[in-house]
Amino acid sequence: MSTLNHLPKFVEVVEVGPRDGLQNEANPVPVAVKVDLIDRLSAAGLPNVEAAAFVSPKWVPQMAGSSEVMAGIRRRPGTVYSALVPNMKGMEAALAAGVGEVVVFSAASEAFAQKNINCSIAESIERFRPVAEAAKSAGVKLRGSISVALGCPYQGAVEPSAVAEVVRRMADLGCDCIDIADTIGVGTPGAVQAVFEASAAAFPMDKLAGHFHDTYGQALANILAALQMGVASFHSSVAGLGGCPYAKGATGNVATEDVLYLLHGLGIDTGVNLRAVVEAGDFITRAINRPNNSRAGKALLAKWAAEQGEPACAA
Amino acid sequence: MSTLNHLPKFVEVVEVGPRDGLQNEANPVPVAVKVDLIDRLSAAGLPNVEAAAFVSPKWVPQMAGSSEVMAGIRRRPGTVYSALVPNMKGMEAALAAGVGEVVVFSAASEAFAQKNINCSIAESIERFRPVAEAAKSAGVKLRGSISVALGCPYQGAVEPSAVAEVVRRMADLGCDCIDIADTIGVGTPGAVQAVFEASAAAFPMDKLAGHFHDTYGQALANILAALQMGVASFHSSVAGLGGCPYAKGATGNVATEDVLYLLHGLGIDTGVNLRAVVEAGDFITRAINRPNNSRAGKALLAKWAAEQGEPACAA
């Protein structure tokens, strides 16, 4: 008997390639290339494109030029342009740049918070209080992102109840939606369902999102498991942009093309044109000379090339 | 509410890398390397290793030396060594080589059968009647394999009822188990559940197996969907050996390491040692100088290298 009869009818795909993906590139990507990529992605119909991070270029040189990127894009009605902000200085720059959603972040493991944010989880969220208030005043959306929710490179296992506690704090901060991130891609479907079940006790399931890395190849199975719980928003990165900072050579973000292929195959509407996303993936991987990490993207590019009588040469 | 409470407790993982995987290699792989690979895979605890194909070397030069491979391996009690046989000549060679299971094959699309086997589906199965009888007489298992069950490169969509009809013919032939193969990797979970539901009307679900290619990245999601239907046998290829003959540069067989990571994460027993399979994948990809297409394999190799203080260099 089918177990897929009660999936969401519409799923929001949040494209994180231009920020989360390109942030892991060793060489900075020119502003013009980022603008071109973001415009291709919004034109494809993606409802949310994480376009920038207003962080100190001293810490994250890849994100220098975020204001220029935001000034250069062609804003498409129907697409929210989101940006990561670490503090009020970043928030002011983000508001000046006209972002539609700001992303604040914490972790589900104290070990990870101490190592990456230099404070406790609770402190890290409290520090965002002024940012949250500024977001409300300015009428921009506030998104909370919770790292290492399915496992931590320093601490190992993470309990669903620990994730739910961070969700509760993010909800208290006033977040409009909250991402559960498997930052190192170690989760499997049962663990994913347990984390979303626990988190949904603290925040509505339809405002939770899954951010899965494909490091162990599990991302689409995890998305399927989360869809069965009623989760209707997922993050992904065109061409799978962004490696895994915790395992050299390993895979990072799940590819948007693969997620769209899954959702459309399940009869779920996304409002996104898969072909346009595949072409955007081909564009950016050629522009920055990186392999295309989308399996659906590579297969479709090879298929289209064969149909055109061209030699298929997707790497 | 979890949708994963009624999965099989034990799943059989059928390793097809040495045959289905290496058959797609442009350069023939030496017998000694194949023997080493097969011995590593059986030592890892895999219950079934597709080790050879007794086909004309004129048509499939990669499979020359199948008798030598079977003579060279160290047979592990608990592992069935299976081999593809196209006809009685192959069957005689397979029996002489001491295979434990023979694999006969057809397709779910008439267009594919005509193009690849030069006859109708029904004829292709009837031609195997002497092979099936010889298998019964010799006391070796008979497996039936059905190609393009989720979509055909020539015909496009394939109806679940068409797959079920081929299952019925294979059952009538006397097959002990039957594989449903997504040869071009186009299936998504809803289609997979529909095909298994239709097929289970003709043959017991617990003797059906899923053979999924990861060409569009869907294989693990499809396995999860099939597990939810009660399917308890899956084919996979160590390091994802074997490209896609229908789309150059695209991904072929799902990687055994990724499947084991999924199943073990779900608490399902396989009897297989994941680490030993990852090491076998590292061995064969170095031996034949191919990229490792297992995401879990690459991630674990990078992790272990980092733990040893070595530079992580998984490609």
The complex's ipTM?
0.95
Element (H, E) at A53: strand A48-53
Token pair of A212 as six digits: 């899965």
Looking at this protein, which amino acid is placed at residue B28?
P
| Residue position matching structure tokens 């997504």 | B182
Q: Where are the domains of chain A?
A: 2-307
In this model, does residue A315 exceed pLDDT 50? no
Catalytic member of B152, B175, B244, B313: B244
* Dihedral class, residue A148 (left if φ above 0, else alpha if ψ from -120 to 50, else beta): left
Q: For residue B243, count CB atoms less than 10 angstroms from its CB and return exposed for 0-12, middle for 13-18, buried for 19 or more.
A: buried
- Give the residue among A180, A221, A229 at the shortest CA–CA distance from B262: A221
CA–CA dist B196, B239 (Å, integer):
26
pLDDT at B193: 98
CA–CA dist A26, A61 (Å, integer):
10
CA–CA dist A165, A122 (Å, integer):
10
**CA-to-CA dists, residue B89 to B57, B82, B126, angstroms:** 13, 16, 16
Burial string for B281-296 (b: 16+ CB within 10 Å, else e) reads bbbbbeebebebbbbb
Count of CB atoms situated within 10 Å of the CB of A230: 16
pLDDT at A248: 73
CB proximity list for B61: less than 8 A, separation 6 or greater: B28
CA–CA dist A39, A33 (Å, integer):
10
- Cβ atoms of B175 and B144 closer than 8 Å: yes
CA–CA dist B175, B199 (Å, integer):
14
pLDDT at A310: 60
- Cβ atoms of B262 and A214 closer than 8 Å: no
Rg (CA), chain A: 18
Choose among A218, A249, A311: nearest Cβ to B261.
A218
Establish if B251 touches chain A: CB-CB under 8 angstroms: yes
Establish if B205 touches chain A: CB-CB under 8 angstroms: no
| Residues in chain B, total | 315
Token pair of A138 as six digits: 């300015």
pLDDT at B313: 38
Strands B233-236 and B12-15, by their bridges, are parallel
Instruction: Kindly give the interhelix angle for B31-43 and B274-287, rounded to the nearest 10 degrees.
Output: 170
Token pair of A194 as six digits: 């347990």
- In B160-207, which residue ranges form alpha helices assigned H by DSSP? 160-173, 189-199
- Cβ atoms of B256 and B238 closer than 8 Å: yes
Cβ-defined contact of A224 to B221 (cutoff 8 Å)? yes
Supply φ then ψ for residue A33, to 5 degrees: -70, -40
CA–CA dist B234, B246 (Å, integer):
22
Chains A, B: CB pairs < 8 Å: 168
**CA-to-CA dists, residue B18 to A211, B30, B63, B265, B284, angstroms:** 35, 12, 10, 26, 10
Cβ-defined contact of B3 to A2 (cutoff 8 Å)? no
- Give the residue among A209, A201, A252, A246 at the shortest CA–CA distance from A227: A209
Choose among A216, A266, A311: nearest Cβ to B188.
A266
Token pair of A314 as six digits: 């997707």
CA–CA dist A23, B20 (Å, integer):
39
- Cβ atoms of A15 and A38 closer than 8 Å: no
- Give the residue among B98, B102, B47 at the shortest CA–CA distance from B70: B98
CB proximity list for A36: less than 8 A, separation 6 or greater: A283, A287
Choose among B249, B251, B299: nearest Cβ to A247.
B299
- Give the residue among B229, B4, B2, B221 at the shortest CA–CA distance from A268: B221
Choose among A221, A250, A266: nearest Cβ to B190.
A266
CA–CA dist A13, A74 (Å, integer):
20
| Residues in chain A, total | 315
For residues A158-173, give the mean pLDDT: 98
Token pair of B24 as six digits: 């797609």
For residues A215-220, give the mean pLDDT: 97
Cβ-defined contact of A294 to B217 (cutoff 8 Å)? yes
Q: How many CA atoms lie within 13 A of B225 on its CB side?
A: 27
CA–CA dist A206, A222 (Å, integer):
17
pLDDT at B310: 59
Cβ-defined contact of A261 to B229 (cutoff 8 Å)? no
Establish if B214 touches chain A: CB-CB under 8 angstroms: yes
Establish if A302 touches chain B: CB-CB under 8 angstroms: yes
A251 CB neighbours in chain B (<8 A) are: 295, 298-299
Per-residue pLDDT of chain B (315 residues; tens, 9 = 90+): 789 999 999 999 999 999 989 988 888 899 999 999 999 999 999 999 999 999 988 888 888 899 999 999 999 999 999 999 999 999 999 999 999 999 999 999 999 999 988 999 999 999 999 999 999 999 999 999 999 999 999 999 999 999 999 999 999 999 999 999 999 999 999 999 999 999 999 999 999 999 999 999 999 999 999 999 999 999 999 999 987 777 777 789 999 999 999 999 999 999 999 999 999 999 999 999 999 999 999 999 999 998 887 554 333
CB proximity list for B8: less than 8 A, separation 6 or greater: B206, B227, B230, B231, B232, B268
Under the banding of pLDDT at 50, 70 and 90, the label for residue A312 is very low
**Could you report the per-residue pLDDT of A55-87, keeping only the tens digit for each?**
988 888 888 899 999 999 999 999 999 999 999
- Whether B244 is a known active-site residue: answer yes
- Cβ atoms of B162 and B113 closer than 8 Å: no
Under the banding of pLDDT at 50, 70 and 90, the label for residue A266 is very high
Cβ-defined contact of B224 to A223 (cutoff 8 Å)? no
Q: A2-307 adopts what CATH topology?
A: TIM Barrel (3.20.20)
